[in-house]
């Protein structure tokens, strides 16, 4: 989780990622931020994030992203 927080802070440093649960719904991350984030997550965690997974529920919090990452790693 710490590495995920580091990646998120590199994209948008002014957000409390440990407690924020509305990264998408609260417009804290832009669509360009999400595109950058997806590329970094795929590289860092050696996963492919299919289009069907790119929904607000999977990106509204660091916890939701970590759960998605773990689920995608299990599918490998």
How many CB atoms lie under 10 A from the CB of residue 59? 22
For residue 61, the 8-state DSSP code is S
Helix and strand tally (H, E) in the chain? 4, 0
Say how far apart CA 32 and CA 12 lie, in whole Å: 11
Q: Is the pTM of this model over 0.85?
A: yes
pLDDT at 75: 86
Say how far apart CA 46 and CA 23 lie, in whole Å: 23
pLDDT at 52: 97
Collapsing DSSP to helix, strand or coil, 31 comes out as helix
What are 9-53's pLDDT values in tens digits?
999 999 999 999 999 999 999 999 999 999 999 999 999 999 999
Domains and CATH numbers, the chain: 2-74 (1.10.1200.10)
pLDDT at 76: 78
């Amino acid at each position: 989780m710490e590495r995920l927080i580091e990646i998120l802070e590199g994209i948008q440093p002014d957000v409390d990622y440990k407690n924020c649960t509305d990264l998408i719904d609260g417009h804290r991350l832009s669509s360009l931020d999400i595109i950058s984030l997806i590329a970094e997550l795929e590289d860092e965690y050696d996963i492919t994030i299919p289009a069907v997974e790119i929904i607000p529920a999977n990106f509204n919090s660091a916890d939701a992203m970590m759960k998605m990452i773990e689920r995608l790693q299990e599918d490998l």
